Amino acid sequence: MYTTLNVINLISGEQKQITFPKKNELDISPQVVGTNITWYRMNEKKNQGDVWVKDWRSGQEYRWLKNVDSAPTFFSKSN
């Protein structure tokens, strides 16, 4: 089993897959931080996973944190 993250255009209804996990990987807990989206990718057979970041402008993604227990929570500074 695997899960992917998708972006949906609310006007047209078009759906586009934005993450591509391997078999037995789950992409969960997405968060938008500025122009980036983060998510937690875990293997369904392990208790730990990695945090990934994707920049919307460039489309580049990278593994930010390895072997963590859960997804971090990001907060924005209030003015």
Residue 56 in any domain: the answer is yes
Tally the domains of the chain. 1
Look at residue 73 and tell me if it is in a domain.
no
Residue 35 forms part of a structural domain: yes
Give domain status of residue 18, yes or no. Answer: yes
Q: What is the pLDDT along the chain (79 residues), one digit of tens a residue?
A: 568 999 999 999 999 999 999 989 999 999 998 899 999 999 988 889 999 999 988 989 999 999 999 888 877 777 6
Q: Is 63 a member of any domain?
A: yes
Q: How many CA atoms are closer than 13 Å to the CA of 24, on its beta-carbon side?
A: 5
Q: Does some domain include residue 74? A: no
Classify residue 75: in a domain, yes or no: no
Domain of residue 16 covers 6-68
Is 1 domain-assigned? no
